[in-house]
Amino acid sequence: MRIGVMLRCLEEHGGIAVYAQNLVEELLRLDRTNHYVLFHRRAANVGRFGRHANVTERVVSGSNKVYWDQVAIPWRCWREQTDVVFHPKFTVPLLAPCKAVMVVHGADWFMPDQARYYSWANVRCMRAVMPLYFRKSSVVLSVSQLTTDNFNHVLQLPEDKVETVYFGPARHFRRVTDEAILEKTRRRYSLPPKFILTLTKRGGSDRKNLGQVFKGYARYHAMAADPYPLVIGGKDCHLFRAEYGVPATGYGEAIHFPGWLDQQDLPAIYSLAGLYLYPSNLEAFPIPVTEAMACGAPIVTSDANGLREIAGDACLLTDPSDADAIAQAIGRVLADSALASTLSAKGLERSRQFTWEACAKKTLAILESLDNGSRA
């Protein structure tokens, strides 16, 4: 087969870019039979995967995402004679002269309690075009069973239209025990001797529930005899201090903003953390939770949506809307070493269910099924 892969999402900083990078790397590691035509939007991304003999990389120009998806890519699919075009994000080229497969990372726009995190125009647009994308797609991959069930419900889809395919953290996410590496990482980011870790990003702080994180931490800080500092990682996250009115004294003095945390350093940072705090409001498949699990960090996360599904019994679940509940959960884990050890052990065990190898094998089997006639 000639498999076209749309990779404009590599320009983004976020979970879908991480998903695309890891999935393509794993597919190319496993598959020496099929040929992959990788469509980039930026020339700077050419060469990421070029060391493989069964790869062709093309730069496809486009003034905006809609033109790139719906005009430029169909033309390139025709030129490259692709048998299927695969998009790791939630669109497909409707006029592509071949079969199409997309990945959905949540059904947020169709869920009343989730659509509020998007603009009115974005919700209306996605509700209008998503049924068209599903109709064009031979099969749709979903990153969680929750997402699969939601789309099956709202769009009344055929039984085999959507397949749940879990993924996981990159291969380098594992517990770090080397003291030299841990100390080097601690110095690089000026991390305190003990700390609570949370990760977020600019523009997504409402979804990540950062306001409740600050409130919950303030209440934990007030009740703890020897409170752990809070480390908030992410590009430009220091701006949250002013935006959320975090004081320079008291609990605010114990909050650290080290900035962007490099992917290669994150395993050591998770391993150093006494707790990973992630009471997000909205997640289909929370990559950071699987990363923290694989590194043995005890986790407090939300008893909601995809977080509950991925966490299972390996995390302490809390109500993300209740700052007191968040504070109590933080306090329980950090005051009870037996509980922290149990969560760490359960997280390491559960993390084995979420791997890129398993994800790539199932994705490849689905793509190849389009060529052998077992799917329309």
Tokens of 349: 């065990």
Residue 375 has pLDDT above 60, yes or no: no
Q: Are 263 and 130 contained in the same domain? A: no
Quick one: 210 and 161 in the same domain? no
| pLDDT tens sequence across 91-141 | 999 999 999 999 999 888 998 877 877 889 999 999 999 999 999 999 999
Do 234 and 144 reside in the same domain of the chain? no
Report how far apart, in Å, the C-alpha atoms of 73 and of each of 19, 64, 180, 300, 345 are: 20, 12, 48, 42, 46
pLDDT digits (tens, 9 = 90+) for 162-220: 999 999 888 899 999 999 999 999 999 999 999 999 998 876 667 788 999 999 999 99
Q: How many residues does the chain have?
A: 376
- Is the whole-model pTM more than 0.75? yes
* Between 40 and 63, residue with greater pLDDT: 40
Domain identity same for 320 and 334: yes
Q: Is residue 360 part of a domain?
A: yes
Whether 127 maps to a domain, the answer reads yes
pLDDT tops 80 at residue 21: yes
Residues 21 and 124 occupy one common structural domain:
yes
Q: How many CB atoms lie within 10 A of CB 186?
A: 16
Instruction: Say if residue 67 is in the same domain as residue 209.
Output: no
Q: What is the mean pLDDT of the chain?
A: 93
User: CB–CB of 214/241 below 8 Å?
Assistant: no
pLDDT at 268: 98
Which sign, positive or negative, has the C-alpha torsion 108, 112, 114, 116? positive
- Name the one residue in this structure whose structure tokens are 């949540």: 106
Assess whether 158 and 195 both reside in one domain: no
**pLDDT value at residue 51:** 82
Let me know if residue 139 belongs to a domain.
yes
CATH of the domain at 29: 3.40.50.2000
Residue 31 backbone dihedrals phi, psi, to 5 degrees: -110, 115
Regarding whether 363 and 302 lie in a shared domain, the answer is: no
- Indicate whether 319 pLDDT > 90: yes
12 or 231: which carries more pLDDT confidence? 231
Residues 278 and 217 occupy one common structural domain? yes
* 375 assigned to some structural domain: no
**Has residue 31 got a pLDDT over 80?**
yes
One domain, residues 347 and 363: no
C-alpha pair distances (Å), 348 with each of 175, 202, 296, 339: 9, 29, 6, 14
pLDDT at residue 345 greater than cutoff 80: yes
Residue 2 predicted with pLDDT over 70: yes
Q: Is 26 within the bounds of a domain? A: yes
Query: Of 97, 89, 102, nearest to 135 (Cα)?
Result: 102
Structure confidence by residue, pLDDT tens digits, 79-102: 999 999 999 999 999 999 999 999
Number of domains in the chain: 2
Beta strand 255-259 with 275-278 is unpaired
Q: What is the pLDDT of residue 372?
A: 66
In terms of domains, do 215 and 332 share one? Answer: yes
In a domain, 224, yes or no: yes
- Token pair belonging to 207: 């979804």
Q: Do the domain assignments include residue 94?
A: yes
pLDDT confidence of residue 313: 94
Residue type, 175: R
Is residue 376's pLDDT more than 60?
no
* pLDDT band with cut points at 50, 70 and 90 for residue 374: low
Whether the Cβ atoms of residue 161 and residue 141 lie closer than 8 Å to each other: no
Cα-based angle 116, 122, 126 (whole degrees, multiple of 5):
105
Q: State whether 136 and 196 are in the same domain.
A: no
Residue 112: which residues within 8 A CB-CB, separation 6 or more? Answer: none
Examine residue 374 and state whether it is found in any structural domain, yes or no.
no
- The pLDDT of residue 342 is above 70: yes
Structural domain harbouring 111: 2-167+356-369
